[in-house]
């Protein structure tokens, strides 16, 4: 069995499509662990309805808002599967993703993998005609300069690597998890578009200075990089973000 980790917060408009994209997968031996982060809309009610119909879906509730990283950690802790996958509550998987990625991991003996993705707007329209295909192999040193791993595309074998959790920072915690995993093993990219990342208005207008602050904490406090190395990595990541627009 594989475990799918999904944090949930005020996503009533998209969560049904997210769940449906999992239910429609050709690979069926999965559990979906959805952690509601104290939503104040109908998100949890929608998930509860699905959970009553499908026992593979498990709903957890945070009594207070703790953030996506803490919510993912709750799901990771409860996961029973050999491989942990990630899927946020407004993103979707394309048909066959689980089957193809699991086969890729098993046949290649890859312990940490991700796939190519494409971006959509809030209405599901593609934002780019041609998706980007990351390099086939990613090392820790390469990932410090640029993070090509979309959370909705990532999976790691927790039976072999152990359960690895996200640090307690509000943003960039998924990136920090990838770096922690990359210290154990390289990541391998299945170069097929198997997931769709939803770009939402609030993510576009997020405070850029705030993002840089969390990027700094990731490099300097969590990864223990020097001042100059941290600044260089921030510059490299910023440049990639600009070129990706």
pLDDT band at 132 (very low <50, low <70, confident <90, very high): confident
Give residue 242's pLDDT.
64
Sequential DSSP letters for 5-64: EEEESS-TTTHHHHHHHHHT-S---EEEEEEE-S-SSSHHHHHHHHHHH-TTEEEEE-SS
Structural domains for the chain: 2-201 (3.90.550.10), 207-245 (no CATH)
pTM confidence score = 0.93
Q: Which of 106, 182, 118 is nearest to 150 (CA)?
A: 118
**Beta bridge mates, 118:** 196
d(CA 146, CA 123) in angstroms, rounded, equals: 28
Residue 245's pLDDT band, with cuts at 50, 70 and 90, is low
Express each pLDDT in 170-226 by its tens digit: 788 999 999 999 999 999 999 999 999 999 876 644 556 677 888 888 998 999 999
């Amino acid at each position: 069995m594989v475990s799918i980790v999904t944090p949930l917060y005020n996503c009533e408009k998209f969560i049904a499509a997210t769940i449906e994209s999992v239910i429609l997968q050709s690979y069926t031996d999965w559990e979906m662990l959805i952690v509601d982060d104290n939503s104040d809309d109908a998100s949890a009610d929608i998930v509860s309805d699905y959970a009553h119909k499908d026992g593979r879906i498990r709903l957890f509730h945070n009594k207070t808002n703790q953030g996506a990283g803490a919510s993912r950690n709750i799901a990771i802790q409860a996961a029973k599967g050999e491989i942990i996958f990630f899927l946020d509550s407004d993103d979707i998987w394309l048909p066959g993703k689980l089957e193809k990625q699991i086969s890729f991991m098993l046949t290649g003996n890859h312990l940490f993998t991700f796939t190519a993705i494409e971006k959509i707007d809030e209405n599901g329209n593609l934002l780019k005609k041609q998706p980007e295909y990351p390099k086939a192999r990613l090392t820790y040193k390469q990932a410090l300069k640029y993070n090509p791993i979309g959370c909705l595309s990532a999976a790691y074998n927790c039976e072999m690597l152990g359960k690895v959790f996200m640090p307690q920072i509000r943003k960039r915690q998924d990136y920090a998890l990838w770096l922690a995993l990359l210290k154990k093993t390289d990541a391998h990219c299945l170069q097929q578009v198997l997931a769709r990342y939803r770009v939402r208005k609030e993510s576009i207008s997020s405070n850029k200075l705030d993002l840089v602050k969390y990027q700094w904490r990731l490099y300097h406090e969590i990864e223990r990089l020097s001042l100059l190395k941290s600044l260089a990595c921030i510059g490299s990541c910023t440049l990639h973000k600009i070129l990706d627009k």
